[in-house]
Amino acid sequence: MGEWSPQLQMGYRSQTMPELAPYGSWRSPISAAAIARGGVGLTGLDVWNGVVHWSELRPAEGGRTAVVRAGSGDLTPQGFNVRTQVHEYGGGAWWLHGSTVYFTNWMDQRLYRQDEGAEPVAITPEPEIARGLRYADGVVTADGRWVVCVRERHEQGREAFNEIVVLPADGSAEPKVIVEGNDFYAFPRLSPDGSKLAWTEWTHPNLPWDGTFLYAAEFADGEVSNGVLVAGAMDESIGQPRWSPDGVLHFISDRNGWWNLYRHVDGAVEPVLEVDADLGVPQWVFGQSTYDFLPDGDIVCAVDRKARQSLCMVADGTLSDLGLPYASINDLSVSGDRVFFIGASQTESAMVVSFDPKTGDVEVFKRARDDDVDERYLSPPEAIEFPSEGRASHAFLYRPRNADFAGLDGEKPPLLVFSHGGPTGCVRPTLNLTIQFWTSRGFAVVDVNYGGSTGYGRDYRRLLNGNWGVVDVQDCVNAARYLAERGEVDGERMAIRGGSAGGFTTLAALVFTDTFKAGANYFGVADFETFVGDTHKFESRYLDSLVGPYPERKDLYFERSPANFVDRISAPVVTFQGLEDAIVPPSQSEQVVNALRKKKIPCAYVTYEGEQHGFRKAENMIHSLESELYFYGRVFGFEPADDIEPIKIENLEASPAR
């Protein structure tokens, strides 16, 4: 890595010398408004007879999600928002049968049927409790007669019930429960001839990446019978059951330490492919797909090595890379000879892609962003491995880069440490314009895949078990110190930011270490005991594995909660919070902010009406990003080039000198 050099750091081909200016103050074409309004979120994909459909989350339409058909445009009329609230995180909110779309509507959570050229019609009843019956992850029988899907049922004063239901596809009768009794269900999948149904289920305190069970049963006339356990255990994570064209049940399991591919043949489980890489991903949302079958029986799959995915083929037990540039591959599906997926690379945002493995032909149907960003303003990711408490940890480093600016002589850039959410998840080296927003203004960014992240195998993923608030904090701190000690960044101007679980790590790092001089907390968990009592069913026992059983380890819940030790924070903190967040309620943020106010620590608290867990409205996305930049400018002593509406920072009497 070495010392910063304006010539090496820029890597541009400008005919004029860059202007020298303080880091953080550079003008950039990557504005918050361009990030929020210049694109859509590609949130799902399905294909029927070669016709690809996808869904778009649109910040410019208030965060509405619509289903789009290639060549036809929007299928979802205005007034409908395709989004399910099952598990709160949703996913799997729509599916196809021929030209008919089935979807859950956000406003009432009822299931709708939309035939070609017609308006959507509700096919499930109005619940007694508003939004009390929620649907996700469905499939339609080949004859179009039945819909099978997951339902989450809410009753007053009780924990939600999760189950698998079947209902007539025309809505002529109410849904009937066909699988019940466990805490959670996912992936109801019918065999090609419709005679068998497979699904996964799991029980508290597990989450699906801890331990799951795979079942299969006979299915006929809307009834299941003779169910059998195919695979699974309390410490084996199973997902994505899928029937091959010849009726063999396949699935992803981590039984060998990696999420690999297996099949069930003649009552026994056998490996299709065993490799030191992950073919699966953590099931935070429904409907995930990272493999599918080609007509000749070969399998295409997304293979994850150190948080970088690649499209590969499995033929005769041999794995081969198909040589595409994408580092993130989601919603993989095969139709005919072509492979469809949502892919992203280090230079391009997400796009809907079609690929022919035989010819190598690639077709892009939709890009998340229509505008191209000049690569002279983009900082490429650099995978780094750094020592952390006697083991290796991982991150992606992004250096400051702007074709028009270079830092002042003798000045080192401020550092932003990104702590990802989850915490069971990872960051990938794909184009993230939020990161580029910072690097093009003169910040260095290190995006940390701390111990507990996925993409590095089960052992690395389980490093966080019992150690949330310890390992993640250590790794974020050690990543920052590693870069500062090597002279890469200004050790006196290092900040940490994160949302949700990443917000918790941000707060914990500010409370329990003195490494960072500022922090940005986006709806982070602050008090473990409050979180256990306030959060939704899906995550209500998450901390059993991450911290310890409650209330038996109440001592750890207290010791790890930043809200109990806010008096230790000496660095300024800005907090952003959606007021309708059911996962991390506003009370969590308010505990921290009120304690900071009491201690007279510089702080700002910014709230947004109508936002849930993660901001979906363009105006709020813009405001939060610009406000965070303004906050760092005041704290670190630079003047942003952007025209930003100031936010109120309490207890900050004067900007500190650089």
CATH code of the domain made up of 39-367: 2.130.10.120
Residues of the chain with CATH 2.130.10.120: 39-367
- Report CA-CA distances (Å) from 99 to 53, 75, 82, 116, 117: 10, 10, 17, 6, 9
Residues of the chain with CATH 3.40.50.1820: 6-34+374-636
Q: Is the pLDDT of residue 325 over 90?
A: yes
Cis peptide before 205 (omega within 30 of 0): yes
Q: Is the pLDDT of residue 607 over 90?
A: yes
Question: Higher confidence at residue 25 or residue 7?
Answer: 25
- Among the ranges given (43-52, 329-338, 524-533), the one the predictor scored with the smallest mean pLDDT: 524-533
pLDDT at 655: 38
Tokens of 133: 């019956």
Phi, psi at 502, each rounded to 5°: -65, -30
Residues in CB range of 653: below 8 A, 6 or more apart: none
The count of C-alpha atoms lying within 13 angstroms of the C-alpha of 394, restricted to the half-sphere facing its C-beta, is 21
- Among the ranges given (1-10, 189-198, 414-423), the one the predictor scored with the smallest mean pLDDT: 1-10
pLDDT at 8: 28
The domain 6-34+374-636 is classified under which CATH number: 3.40.50.1820, 3.30.750.24, 3.40.1390.10, 3.30.70.660? 3.40.50.1820
What is the rounded average pLDDT of the residues 316-335?
Answer: 96
Q: Which of 139, 152, 253 lies closest to 187, judged by CA?
A: 139
Residues 495 and 424: their CA atoms lie apart, in Å, by 22
Output the 3-class SS for 128-179.
Answer: CCCCCEEEEEEEECCCCCEEEEEEEECCCCCCCEEEEEEEECCCCCCCEEEE
pLDDT at 372: 79
Averaged pLDDT of the chain: 94
β-sheet bridge partners, residue 446: 397, 417
pLDDT at 295: 95
Q: Is the pLDDT of residue 76 over 60?
A: yes
The span from the first CA to the last CA of the chain, in angstroms, equals: 24
What is the rounded average pLDDT of the residues 282-287?
Answer: 98
pLDDT at 81: 98
Question: Higher confidence at residue 172 or residue 316?
Answer: 172
Per-residue confidence band for 455, with pLDDT thresholds at 50, 70 and 90: very high
Per-residue confidence band for 5, with pLDDT thresholds at 50, 70 and 90: very low
Maximal CA-CA distance, the chain: 76
Residues 223 and 548: their CA atoms lie apart, in Å, by 40
The answer to whether residues 634 and 652 touch, using CB atoms and an 8 Å cutoff, is yes
pLDDT at 38: 80
What is the rounded average pLDDT of the residues 226-242?
Answer: 98
What is the rounded average pLDDT of the residues 553-580?
Answer: 95
Task: List pLDDT tens digits, range 419-437.
Answer: 999 999 999 999 999 999 9
Q: Which of 313, 318, 229 lies closest to 268, judged by CA?
A: 229
Q: Is the pLDDT of residue 11 over 80?
A: no
β-sheet bridge partners, residue 45: 54
Per-residue confidence band for 6, with pLDDT thresholds at 50, 70 and 90: very low
Q: What percent of the chain stands above pLDDT 90?
A: 91
Q: Which of 194, 199, 195, 167 lies closest to 180, judged by CA?
A: 199
The type of residue at 317 is G
Q: What percent of the chain stands above pLDDT 70?
A: 97
Residues 178 and 221: their CA atoms lie apart, in Å, by 12
Residues 26 and 631: their CA atoms lie apart, in Å, by 16
Q: Is the pLDDT of residue 13 over 80?
A: no
What is the rounded average pLDDT of the residues 260-289?
Answer: 97
SS3 call for 539: helix
* Tokens 């009843």 sit on residue: 125
pLDDT at 656: 41
